[in-house]
Amino acid sequence: MVIISNVSYPPESTKEIAKRYLKAPVLPDFLNKKGPYVSADKKGGMNSITYYELENEKLAEGLKAIAESLSIYFGVPGYKYDLRPYFELEEGLEILGL
């Protein structure tokens, strides 16, 4: 499974985000991080997406570790994040009893 974080903030906060990123806590070894991948646009500002691969049984622990790493940005003006787990299609079908 994967957990995907979607982070947004205004361009004016980019330097502060970068400073804090360099101080972010190290994630546990069971999380395979890919990203962050960053984009920008005039209307929405800065946006980054990060993928975290992990085993299903580590979901709760993974969500907690990622949320703690994202909390380092609290207080940065305009900072918002969304954190969602995604299951592989076969797993989703099993959950539905199919």
pLDDT of 94? 72
Residue 3's CB: how many other CB atoms inside 10 A? Answer: 22
Give residue 65's domain range.
2-88
Q: Is residue 55 part of a domain?
A: yes
The whole-model pTM stands at 0.86
Q: Is residue 80 part of a domain?
A: yes
Q: Is residue 96 part of a domain?
A: no
Q: Check: CB of residue 9 under 8 Å from CB of residue 17.
A: yes
* Residue 65's CATH number: 3.30.70.100
Q: Which residues pair with 2 in a beta bridge?
A: 53, 86
Q: Is residue 95 part of a domain?
A: no
pLDDT of 92? 67
Q: Is residue 97 part of a domain?
A: no
Q: Is residue 61 part of a domain?
A: yes
Calculate the average pLDDT of the chain: 92
Q: How many domains does the chain divide into?
A: 1
pLDDT of 34? 97
- For the stretch 35-80, pLDDT in tens is 999 999 888 799 999 999 999 899 999 999 999 999 999 999 999 9
pLDDT of 78? 96
Q: Is residue 63 part of a domain?
A: yes
Q: Is residue 9 part of a domain?
A: yes
